[in-house]
Amino acid sequence: MNFFETEYTIEKLRDAYQRRAVTVSGVMRQFFDYIKTRDASVGAFLEVFEKEGMERAAALDAQQDAMDPLAVLPPLFGVPVAIKDNMLYAGHRATAASKILEGYVSAYTATAVQKLIDAGAVIVGRTNLDEFAMGSSTEYSAFGVTRNPHDPDKVPGGSSGGSAAAVAGNMALASLGSDTGGSIRQPASFCGAVGLKPTYGSVSRYGLMALASSLDQIGSFAKTVRDAARVFSVIAGPDPLDATSTPYPHENLLLEGAAVKKKVLGVPREYFVDGMDGSVEAAVRSAIDRFQKDGFVVKEISLPHTRYALSCYYIILPAEASANLARFDGVRYSRLDTIPAQAGLMELYRKQKGEGYGDEPRRRILLGTFVLSSGYYDAYYAKAQKVRRLILDDFEKVFNDGVDAILTPVTPTTAFAIGEKKDDPLSMYLSDIFTIPVNLAGLPALSLPIGSGFSKENMPINFQIIGKHFDEQTILSLGEYYETYLKGRA
């Protein structure tokens, strides 16, 4: 059996384990060997946990040997999963791809990571990202670029570029990412993976390094919607350690075809903009047409405040980020060994922050400090909060008018070349115009491949399905329906 064919999935691996056709040790050996060759040209991982991964595999094999052969295996039994390096995993390094945290070792484990482990997953390594999850290409990592598995000259997207590339490059069957403005959905599109950004509050953020706490959400990458639903059902749920987590029961995530077909779909006029890549627009429209031809009710809708979303986000995000990053004060998480013992406070700050942060965190800390400063607070931050409310109201109005889910593009272009936008932050920011409103409104959204035959330069293109709060069921069901019945159609 070849584990590295692109169609290999968690479901198929489970089936093989259940039949005892393979062992976890055998599967993990192949994965780690494959990572060694493949990741040399992709650079998805900052660190691979091979030794402990193989030990864990042996323990899982022993666990299965002790089980009744007919017993159902735990939901992620023996599944290789990668984690974005802004999540804590006790005893392992966690850097957020920043020099300021180089050498930092996690003191505890993020709830989402712990849930993966409890469900039987093997954590294969920690993946590269834009520094502190600020960026859209993974080029803002302090530890090197990650390349798109489909074309080494192109970026994988970001900020969860390593997690997307690990799955798309067949080096893991699922991975965790975080999505504050599109960091799961955009790299999923650039790499041709499935990416789920859950509802704000569906998955505990305990142990996730905060970027913007009112926007951040942990979610996953997988190869199929069914696999994404499986990972979501494992990581979702309330957590006493995160006061914003919710007890909403996420059961029966994949509805049957007949129930799916009753869903009313909305297509927002504002999401097809001038300057968008023609091949992306054509591909997204073809996905929408396939729903329509199949008998779905598809309505044109309007989300009039969409055009303010990017500006609103780039006030709220830096404001929250500047507050969150203040904890890196050079004392609590520091590289004190690089600072002379007799250094004064200012010198400590200057060295720690001056040498520790890259340009993008620096830019955002300055912006955030500015918009929160007295005299500017009302003009920027307070106003952005009001605009955020209007953006949410737009979505609520459409949902109250009978729309069950919204279909849109994920990004205006396919993966761009490495180096193309690195020195042009504004054009980098623009790659998130279709994903940011979802975070501002706290909604769930799925990014999934449209299918072959539409990509410019043969690069993947995804579309986005946005749902109501806590209605992951509808977007996953629609996604699975598309993947099963519509994706192969012309």
Binding site for ligand GLN (CB under 6 A): 133-136, 159, 178-183, 211, 317, 432
Q: Which is nearer to ligand GLN, 203 or 317 (CB)?
A: 317
Q: Which is nearer to ligand GLN, 328 or 429 (CB)?
A: 429
Instruction: Report the run of H or E that residue 407 belongs to, with start and end.
Output: strand 405-409
Q: How far apart are CB 200 and ligand GLN at their closest, in Å?
A: 12
Q: How far apart are CB 198 and ligand GLN at their closest, in Å?
A: 13
For the CA atoms of 469, 474, 477, 479, the dihedral, rounded to the nearest 10 degrees, stands at -70
Q: Which is nearer to ligand GLN, 179 or 471 (CB)?
A: 179
Q: Which is nearer to ligand GLN, 133 or 255 (CB)?
A: 133
Q: How far apart are CB 306 and ligand GLN at their closest, in Å?
A: 16
Q: Which is nearer to ligand GLN, 13 or 88 (CB)?
A: 88
Q: How far apart are CB 372 and ligand GLN at their closest, in Å?
A: 17
Q: Which is nearer to ligand GLN, 113 or 317 (CB)?
A: 317
Q: Which is nearer to ligand GLN, 133 or 384 (CB)?
A: 133
**Contact by Cβ (8 Å): 114, 93:** no
CB atoms within 10 A of CB 243: 10
**What is the Cα–Cα distance from 411 to 225, expressed in whole angstroms?**
19
Could you say which of 84, 197, 263, 422 is catalytic? 84
**What is the Cα–Cα distance from 127 to 344, expressed in whole angstroms?**
36
Strand 80-84 to 174-178 pairing: parallel
**What is the Cα–Cα distance from 430 to 310, expressed in whole angstroms?**
8
**Contact by Cβ (8 Å): 79, 122:** yes
CA within 13 Å, CB half, 366: 9
Residues 278-288: b if buried by 16+ CB within 10 A, e if exposed: ebbbebbbbbb
Residue 391: both structure tokens together:
């953006």
Q: How far apart are CB 424 and ligand GLN at their closest, in Å?
A: 13
Could you say which of 183, 202, 245, 431 is catalytic? 183
Strand 445-449 to 194-197 pairing: antiparallel
Q: Which is nearer to ligand GLN, 32 or 434 (CB)?
A: 434
Residue 332: both structure tokens together:
């609590």
CB atoms within 10 A of CB 404: 20
Q: How far apart are CB 182 and ligand GLN at their closest, in Å?
A: 5
**What is the Cα–Cα distance from 163 to 174, expressed in whole angstroms?**
8
Per the annotation, the verdict on 183 as an active-site residue is: yes
**What is the Cα–Cα distance from 258 to 262, expressed in whole angstroms?**
7
The residue of the chain with the least Cβ separation from ligand GLN equals 183
CA 347 to chain centre: 37
Q: How far apart are CB 156 and ligand GLN at their closest, in Å?
A: 13
- The answer, yes or no, to whether the previous bond of 159 is cis (omega within 30 of 0) is yes
**What is the Cα–Cα distance from 469 to 487, expressed in whole angstroms?**
26
Q: How far apart are CB 222 and ligand GLN at their closest, in Å?
A: 18
Could you say which of 25, 98, 159, 233 is catalytic? 159
**What is the Cα–Cα distance from 155 to 129, expressed in whole angstroms?**
12
**What is the Cα–Cα distance from 213 to 415, expressed in whole angstroms?**
28
**What is the Cα–Cα distance from 226 to 237, expressed in whole angstroms?**
18
- Counting runs of H as helices and runs of E as strands, what totals does the chain give? 16, 11
Q: How far apart are CB 290 and ligand GLN at their closest, in Å?
A: 29
**What is the Cα–Cα distance from 327 to 316, expressed in whole angstroms?**
18
Q: Which is nearer to ligand GLN, 181 or 442 (CB)?
A: 181
- Residues with a catalytic annotation lie at 84, 159, 183
